[in-house]
Chain A
Amino acid sequence: MIDLYYAYENVIDLCLLNAVLAFACLLLLGVNLLSLATGGLMALGAYLSIWLTMQKGWSFGPALLAATLLGSLAAAGLGALVLRLRGDYFAMATLAFTEVVRILTLNWDSVTGGALGVFGIPKLTETWQLAALLLLVVYLVWAIRNSAIGDRMRAVAEDELAVTASGHDVARLKRALFTASGAIAGLGGALAAHLNMFVAPGDFGFLRSMDAVLAPVLGGVWNLFGAAIGAAILTLLPELLRFSAQWREILIGAVTLLAVLFLPTGVASLPRRLLRGAHPGRIA
């Protein structure tokens, strides 16, 4: 068991990290917001924490805290501007944010190392920290879902106009959720930066943001563990398919596509479906 852990430490860390980010997106998907800001917010947390630990001599804990704060502040500011946009316009505005951050980091050489990235980052992130964070985030999502806020979220997902009309402040709910997910993304970025010893602007772009959203959609939005299962699949599959770069892409695409086509409520619904023998097309 211990051997197994050492052999796959890196993969396990990545699984945990991606699951945390997936839960950050899941919070927003619950109120029909598809956010592609994850990459940009992660980049802010990552570069701030690297700068603090490597150039300012901060220890890891305060640097993580600073990254979390920056992530939540940036999300609060961005949210105040873009949360009133609807549907695809919101997704595109958050994507624009991620891309603008990526290009700023590409050009701000003194802090970010430009296109070459930052080398020799101390590896401070431990597996237990990621695991603890994941547990905390899962607990938070569970607690929110089982509170009055969770009921309101479900109502917003069903019919936003009706919830607004009955006197609830939907805008405030969305701002709060977006800020919370920004805090998680900022912290996740800082942990990611201190995991691999190397960070470049390309790590936090469109595909990073897309993967974070993909995980809960793939795993199942209304199942508590759906996001974790989705993240595990998206992290493990590339590792399993290492033998060929080209076939890896093709197979990941194919598996994702098959899941989207045949498991409408996510991979997490698979065991129940097998037990019940339900027809895949029935639950939509």
Chain B
Amino acid sequence: MLLQQFVNGLSLGAVYAVFAVGFTLVFGVLNVLNLSQGAVFMWGAYVGLEVMRTLHLPLAAAMAVALLAAGLLGVLSEWIVFRPLQRRGAHRWMGMVGSLALARILIGAAQEVFGTQVVRYPDGAVIGAAVDLWGVRVQGLQVVALAVALVLVLALGALLRLTNFGRVIRTVAFSETVARLVGAPVGRVRVATFFVSGALAGGAGVLWSLLFQSVSPFMGETVLLKGLTVLILGGLGNVAGALAGGLLLGLVEVGSVVAVGAGYRDAVGFGLVLLILLTRPTGLFSSREAKRA
């Protein structure tokens, strides 16, 4: 029973982690909070769904198209919100307000295009298989979600740590001025960061709608709030922290359903955030935030 909840919590946490890693990446590199991520998550879920339903492509292809489309939406937020604001040297609140406005546009557009009813992925998309491991029922879908999450996050880690482009991204994260001085293509790095972050949000959207079998224009708001929770748990801008924080949040939420009932599930994450901020004002796994402040 306990092990079963552990598996459920882990697969839920994996989806949170994918979303939060994209969220925290933009924060870490560019020091802005992109509140349109929840809407990008929702669009990723819809694009994946439409690709499967109308083009009858397999799940992997739908996932790829959703990643691409959501990545482009991420780039859109850079082009029409963050780049103009940064050029002007606007206050960071403006970025939050502007990206929230963009989220509103995207949610309205989704209602117009896809309707407001809750829809679900076609039956063929759901991996029905399940295995019993030491008395624990593990659904194929949960394994896929966890595996995809790990692959996406590890690929990002490899990009950041091992490639030349990753070094450039980390230079921009250290200081945009320094990056410009050493001749790094800051504009391209920004666009790439927003693309990767949007793609991760879209990927999380597909995984989420497979796990919970529901897609609606309003699905982004809850996840945005969860993403903010994980952002704090892991420390703002900390990619590894976001992975750990996401898994932790998934486990704690599932655990709380068992312990105190489903009604308080969404409060537990935020209660945890309050507790952690009171004891560690820059998050659970933070190290560099102290330097920045």
A interface, CB within 8 angstroms of B: 29, 34, 81-82, 84-86, 88-89, 92-93, 95-97, 99-100, 103-104, 106-107, 206-207, 210, 213-214, 217-218, 245-250, 252-254, 256-257, 260-261, 264, 281, 284
Partner of A85, one of B97, B271, B281: B281
- Asked, given contacts A85-B277, A93-B277, A206-B221, whether A257 binds B263 with beta carbons under 8 Å apart, the answer is no
Q: Which of B211-267 contact A (CB under 8 A)?
A: 221, 225, 228-229, 231-232, 236, 263-264, 266-267
Asked if B89 and A284 make an inter-chain contact with CB atoms under 8 angstroms apart, the answer reads yes
Residue of A nearest to B275 (CB): A96
Asked if A84 and B228 make an inter-chain contact with CB atoms under 8 angstroms apart, the answer reads no
- Asked, given contacts A99-B225, A261-B84, whether A92 binds B232 with beta carbons under 8 Å apart, the answer is yes
Q: Give the CA-CA distance A70 to B98 in the complex, in Å.
A: 33
Asked if A100 and B270 make an inter-chain contact with CB atoms under 8 angstroms apart, the answer reads yes
B interface, CB within 8 angstroms of A: 33, 80-81, 84-85, 88-90, 93-94, 96-98, 100-109, 111-112, 221, 225, 228-229, 231-232, 236, 263-264, 266-267, 270-271, 273-274, 277-278, 281-283, 293
Asked if B267 and A261 make an inter-chain contact with CB atoms under 8 angstroms apart, the answer reads no
Residues from chain A with Cβ under 8 Å of B267 in the complex: 99-100, 103-104
User: Which 3 interchain pairs have the tightest Cβ spacing?
Assistant: A249-B108, A253-B104, A253-B105
Query: Can you list 9 A-B pairs with a CB-CB distance of less than 8 A?
Result: A89-B281, A92-B232, A93-B274, A96-B232, A97-B270, A217-B97, A257-B105, A260-B101, A261-B84
Q: Give the CA-CA distance A249 to B172 in the complex, in Å.
A: 35
Residues from chain A with Cβ under 8 Å of B108 in the complex: 246-250, 253
- Asked, given contacts A96-B270, A99-B267, A264-B90, whether A256 binds B112 with beta carbons under 8 Å apart, the answer is no
* Contacts beyond the supplied A89-B281, A253-B101, A256-B101: 9 A-B pairs with Cβ under 8 Å: A82-B278, A96-B271, A97-B270, A213-B97, A214-B100, A250-B108, A253-B106, A264-B90, A284-B90
Asked if B107 and A88 make an inter-chain contact with CB atoms under 8 angstroms apart, the answer reads no
Asked if A89 and B88 make an inter-chain contact with CB atoms under 8 angstroms apart, the answer reads no
Q: Give the CA-CA distance A95 to B100 in the complex, in Å.
A: 15
Q: Give the CA-CA distance A84 to B228 in the complex, in Å.
A: 19
Residues from chain B with Cβ under 8 Å of A34 in the complex: 93, 96
Q: Give the CA-CA distance A255 to B172 in the complex, in Å.
A: 32
Q: Give the CA-CA distance A206 to B38 in the complex, in Å.
A: 13
Residues from chain B with Cβ under 8 Å of A100 in the complex: 267, 270-271, 274
Instruction: Name the distance in Å between B228's Cβ and chain A's nearest Cβ.
Output: 6
Asked if B232 and A89 make an inter-chain contact with CB atoms under 8 angstroms apart, the answer reads yes
Residues from chain A with Cβ under 8 Å of B264 in the complex: 103, 107
Partner of A92, one of B93, B97, B221, B228: B228
- Asked, given contacts A103-B264, A206-B221, whether A249 binds B278 with beta carbons under 8 Å apart, the answer is no
- Asked, given contacts A93-B273, A248-B108, whether A260 binds B97 with beta carbons under 8 Å apart, the answer is yes
Residues from chain A with Cβ under 8 Å of B271 in the complex: 96, 100
Asked if B112 and A92 make an inter-chain contact with CB atoms under 8 angstroms apart, the answer reads no
Residue of A nearest to B89 (CB): A284
